[in-house]
């Protein structure tokens, strides 16, 4: 009996492994549904690789597509995609917890461990209460965004269609997915370019993207601020880094594109401001665009690559190396230049393990992006920046594209799909899932010195 129990325990999956397998099952299920003839407007089976790519992009809330969402997929196909976006954005364990709470099922210790891993939390304390808040905040914000978009679009289309578009895009934009249905109205792969200077659409979509990218921990912290009158260090770092990246990004993009006839050039002063802000917000891993990304100057495209690599914040619906990682690296650089031993943020000293994790994550992500870019440079006949842009967009689960995705080869589609999968789960989570179980070291080597610089 004891032997069988011991054997069984050897095959128990760790929380990272369950997350990887869970997301893979959801993607494969979605792909199977999207291959059905009822899912495509022409009534023909969609090739499995295209369906798999779309399901991966939706579940990993990326937005890169090989077929136009608004024209290729039927109502059935669009509903499948938006369900994948909702499940992928909030996390399948969060959705499973919702069902468990509805049927009054007790959340086990193992399920709490998985939730802790999924929400990127340091402990299990209050994890179920956090999940309740996550669901409440997500549904409230999505409903508010859907209502505003429905009212605006009801002036352009029948109310029923406006309501459907409002709800669909409210979910897509809050989850930072970037999928849209305007291909049948403004042309295939047009995204929100028809509303480049529309204040209501711009403000609503940007608000949804930013709120989805901040992370539910920060939203909860801000919501409780009136009672507690204080914010955690994590929230302060996320809010300040997000604000800086959006404002600084908008200024840089506006400066680079101000006279570009393919982007900001023809727009009014107000239109230039809206378009610059939107182009700075959307690399938070949203993927929607109001100006032609392929028409941007190369300097702007490369700057966007940097913003996409940084991405959103921990515990959010977005990807990238995260704003906190970016802030820690900047803090480390400043501390080293000033000759300080510790990294201090908002009068708080950071632990060494946080710094090591930030450096490890950044180099791991950089290696992945560079390696896949090199592979695609041999399989795709396009210039380097276009390939780098697409790979970074996939890793950051952004969804912005310079037009390469629909023309990818079979190998290219597989590689980009894998990058989206890794980007959504996080490189370290995947490494923990695939690597051996960590063991405590029984000894330490003597300290040595290596010359740097």
Quick one: pLDDT at residue 17? 73
CA-wise closest residue to 139 among 86, 97, 204: 86
Q: Is residue 441 part of a domain?
A: no
Range of the domain at 416: 12-430
CB within 8 A of 360, min separation 6: which ones? 428
Q: Is the pLDDT of residue 8 over 50?
A: no
Q: How far apart are CA 190 and CA 289, in angstroms?
A: 8
Q: Is the pLDDT of residue 309 over 90?
A: yes
Q: Is residue 443 part of a domain?
A: no
Quick one: pLDDT at residue 229? 82
Q: Is residue 335 part of a domain?
A: yes
Q: Are 66 and 50 spatial neighbours (Cβ–Cβ below 8 Å)? A: yes
Token readout for 72 is 């290729």
Quick one: pLDDT at residue 110? 53
Put residue 69 in one of left, alpha, beta given phi > 0 → left and psi -120 to 50 → alpha.
alpha
Q: How far is CA 242 from CA 191, 208, 311, 366, in A?
A: 24, 14, 10, 21
Task: Give the residues across from 348 on adjacent strands.
Answer: 345
Q: How far is CA 321 from CA 151, 288, 426, 441, in A?
A: 36, 20, 8, 28
Q: Is the pLDDT of residue 367 over 50?
A: yes
Q: Are 241 and 288 spatial neighbours (Cβ–Cβ below 8 Å)? A: no
Quick one: pLDDT at residue 226? 80
Q: How far apart are CA 99 and CA 125, in angstroms?
A: 21
Percent of the chain with pLDDT over 90: 51
- The phi and psi torsions of 344 (rounded to 5 degrees) equal -115, 125
Name the DSSP letter for residue 40: B
| Confidence at 258, pLDDT banded by 50, 70, 90 | very high
**Long-range contacts: 388-394, Cβ < 8 Å, 24+?**
388/305, 389/293, 389/301, 389/304, 389/305, 390/64, 390/416, 391/416, 391/419, 392/305, 392/308, 392/309, 393/62, 393/64, 393/287, 393/308, 394/62, 394/64, 394/419, 394/420, 394/423
Sign (positive or negative) of CA dihedral 216, 222, 223, 228: positive
**Selected residue with higher pLDDT from 15 and 411:** 411
**Radius of gyration of the chain, Cα coordinates, nearest whole angstrom:** 22
Q: Is residue 448 part of a domain?
A: no
The DSSP line for 395-406 is: HTT----SS-GG
| Confidence at 10, pLDDT banded by 50, 70, 90 | very low
Q: How far apart are CA 274 and CA 284, in angstroms?
A: 16
Quick one: pLDDT at residue 302? 96
Task: Give the residues across from 40 on adjacent strands.
Answer: 73
Q: Is residue 125 part of a domain?
A: yes
Quick one: pLDDT at residue 136? 83
CA-wise closest residue to 85 among 35, 136, 40, 26: 26
Q: Is residue 372 part of a domain?
A: yes
| Confidence at 424, pLDDT banded by 50, 70, 90 | confident
Q: Count of domains in the chain?
A: 1
Task: Give the residues across from 73 on adjacent strands.
Answer: 40
For the segment 98-132, what is each residue's pLDDT rounded down to a tens digit? 554 544 555 555 555 555 555 555 555 556 666 77
| Confidence at 11, pLDDT banded by 50, 70, 90 | very low
Quick one: pLDDT at residue 103? 44
Q: How far apart are CA 281 and CA 37, in angstroms?
A: 37
Q: Is residue 435 part of a domain?
A: no
| Confidence at 436, pLDDT banded by 50, 70, 90 | low
**Selected residue with higher pLDDT from 136 and 118:** 136
Quick one: pLDDT at residue 216? 77
Neighbour-count burial for 90-125, b at 16+ CB within 10 Å, e otherwise: bbbbbbbbbebeeeeeebeeebbebbbbbbbbeeee
Average pLDDT over residues 153-173: 95
For the segment 184-200, what is each residue's pLDDT rounded down to a tens digit? 888 888 899 999 999 99
Q: Are 395 and 418 spatial neighbours (Cβ–Cβ below 8 Å)? A: no
Q: Are 46 and 40 spatial neighbours (Cβ–Cβ below 8 Å)? A: yes
For the segment 38-59, what is each residue's pLDDT rounded down to a tens digit? 999 999 999 999 999 999 999 9
Taking the chain, what is the end-to-end CA distance rounded to the nearest angstrom?
A: 60
For the segment 201-240, what is each residue's pLDDT rounded down to a tens digit? 999 999 999 998 887 778 888 888 888 888 888 889 999 9
Quick one: pLDDT at residue 121? 53
Neighbour-count burial for 315-331, b at 16+ CB within 10 Å, e otherwise: bbbbbbbbbbbbbbbeb
Q: Is residue 444 part of a domain?
A: no
Quick one: pLDDT at residue 50? 95
Quick one: pLDDT at residue 128? 63
Q: Is the pLDDT of residue 155 over 90?
A: yes
Q: Are 17 and 24 spatial neighbours (Cβ–Cβ below 8 Å)? A: no
Quick one: pLDDT at residue 7? 43
Q: How far apart are CA 45 and CA 56, in angstroms?
A: 18
């Amino acid at each position: 009996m004891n032997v069988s129990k011991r054997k069984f325990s050897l095959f128990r999956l760790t929380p990272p492994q369950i997350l990887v397998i869970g997301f893979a099952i959801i993607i494969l299920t979605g792909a199977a549904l999207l291959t059905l003839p009822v899912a495509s407007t022409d009534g023909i089976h969609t090739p499995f690789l295209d369906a798999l790519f779309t399901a991966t992009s939706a579940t990993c809330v990326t937005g890169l597509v090989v077929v136009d969402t608004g024209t290729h997929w039927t109502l059935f196909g669009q509903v499948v995609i938006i369900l994948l976006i909702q499940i992928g954005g909030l996390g399948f364990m969060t959705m499973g917890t919702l069902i468990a709470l509805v049927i009054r099922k007790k959340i086990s210790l193992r399920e709490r461990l998985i939730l802790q891993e999924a929400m990127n939390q340091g402990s299990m304390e209050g994890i179920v209460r956090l999940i309740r808040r996550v669901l409440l905040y997500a549904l409230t914000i999505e409903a508010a965004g859907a209502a505003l978009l429905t009212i605006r679009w009801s002036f352009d289309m029948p109310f029923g269609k406006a309501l459907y578009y409002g709800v669909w895009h409210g979910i897509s934009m809050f989850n930072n997915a970037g999928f849209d249905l305007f291909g049948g109205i403004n042309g295939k792969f047009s995204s929100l370019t028809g509303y480049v200077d529309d204040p209501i659409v711009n403000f609503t979509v940007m608000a949804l993207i930013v709120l989805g990218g901040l992370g539910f921990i920060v939203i909860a912290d801000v919501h409780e601020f009136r009672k507690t009158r204080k914010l955690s260090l994590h929230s302060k770092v996320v809010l300040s880094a997000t604000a800086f990246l959006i404002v600084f990004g908008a200024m840089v993009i506006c400066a680079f594109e101000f006279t570009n006839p393919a982007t900001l050039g023809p727009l009014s002063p107000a239109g230039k401001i809206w378009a610059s802000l939107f182009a700075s917000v959307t690399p938070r891993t949203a993927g929607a665009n109001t100006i032609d990304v392929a028409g941007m100057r190369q300097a702007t495209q490369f700057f966007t690559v940097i913003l996409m690599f940084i991405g959103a914040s921990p515990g959010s619906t977005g990807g990238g190396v995260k704003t906190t990682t970016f802030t820690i690296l900047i803090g480390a650089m400043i501390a080293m230049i000033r000759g300080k031993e510790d990294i201090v943020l908002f009068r708080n000293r950071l632990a060494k393990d946080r710094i090591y994790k930030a450096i490890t994550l950044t180099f791991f992500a950089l290696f992945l992006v560079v390696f896949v870019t090199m592979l695609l440079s041999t399989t795709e006949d396009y210039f380097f920046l276009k390939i780098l842009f697409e790979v970074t967009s996939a890793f950051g689960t952004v969804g912005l594209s310079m037009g390469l995705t629909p023309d990818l080869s079979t190998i290219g589609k597989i590689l980009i799909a894998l990058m989206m999968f890794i980007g959504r789960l996080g490189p370290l989570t995947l490494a923990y899932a695939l690597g051996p179980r960590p063991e405590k070291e029984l000894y330490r080597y003597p300290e040595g010195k290596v010359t740097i610089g």
